[in-house]
Amino acid sequence: MPRVSFTPNLNRHLDCPTAHVVAATLGETLEAVFAGNPRLRGYVLDDQGAIRRHVAVFVDNKPVVDRVNQSDPVRADSEVFVMQALSGG
């Protein structure tokens, strides 16, 4: 089952512990996490259902390619990490 982890900074604002879900794509993975934590959806996805610009998502240490439909594949042993994309100096 893919493992989904969130940045500690996000955990300060929302309770989002590491989750293990059954899924074949990133979209299915995120939907499974949102089912248990609906408030998290608004942080990760915009009103069109795409990954927000200020959020970075990695599957097996690689940035996701499909930020709109989240069709990137995940394997049973995949690691998904969701974090804020920070900028500044």
pTM over 0.85: yes
Domain boundaries along the sequence of the chain: 3-84
Kind and range of the H or E run holding 9? helix 8-13
Angstrom distance (rounded) from CA 13 to CA 24 = 28
DSSP class of residue 73? Answer: B
Fold (CATH) for 3-84: Ubiquitin-like (UB roll) (3.10.20)
Summarize pLDDT for 21-75 with one digit per residue, the tens.
Answer: 999 999 999 999 999 999 999 999 999 999 999 999 999 999 999 999 999 999 9
Work out the pLDDT band at 13, boundaries 50, 70, 90: confident
Q: Are strands 3-6 and 79-84 parallel, antiparallel or unpaired?
A: parallel
On whether the CB atoms of residues 67 and 52 are closer than 8 A, the answer is: no
